[in-house]
Amino acid sequence: MMDTKVKDALDHIRASTQELHKAISDAAAKRGGALKADLEVVPQKAKAITESIKGSIDTQNEAIKKDLKEAATYLEAVQKHAAEGLKRTGHAFQASIRQTLADARASAQKVSEAVAAKRSAESTKTRK
């Protein structure tokens, strides 16, 4: 069994992307002004996670790097679509929210896959 008590940078990044998705999906349940107020902080949060990824990517193996790069790309899309959404109304606004949520989900997926790759590599090492 792996040592489960030690959470590394990748685990923290994963938790951050999960939180980001949670924040956006919680916001999406609201209406009008409340939704927009919650959405305002999203680009900033996404940018912070992107920076964390960029700061830890060099220490990872190639497979993990690939997942993290894709996650960073999705997070940049989160920033873009959330920022665009703030300027829009009606159907265009709703489309932006939907896209922002999808991008956040994809970024969380990619970071999670990076964590799985890391766990699998460490598990293989332990068994040798």
Decide if residue 2 touches another protein (CB under 8 A): yes
Decide if residue 86 touches another protein (CB under 8 A): no
Q: Which two tokens stand for residue 66?
A: 């690939």
Give me the 97-116 binding string for another protein, x by CB under 8 A, dash otherwise: xx--xx--x--xx--xx-xx
Give me the 6-25 binding string for another protein, x by CB under 8 A, dash otherwise: -----------xxx-xx--x
- CB atoms < 10 A from the CB of 3, how many? 7
3-state DSSP call for residue 4? coil
Contact predicate 67/110, CB 8 Å: yes
Q: What is the DSSP string of 11-56?
A: HHHHHHHHHHHHHHHHHHTS-HHHHHHHHHTHHHHHHHHHHHHHHH
Q: How many residues bind another protein (CB under 8 A)?
A: 32
Decide if residue 56 touches another protein (CB under 8 A): no
**Residues binding another protein (CB under 8 A):** 1-4, 17-19, 21-22, 25-26, 28-31, 35, 91, 94, 97-98, 101-102, 105, 108-109, 112-113, 115-116, 119-120, 123
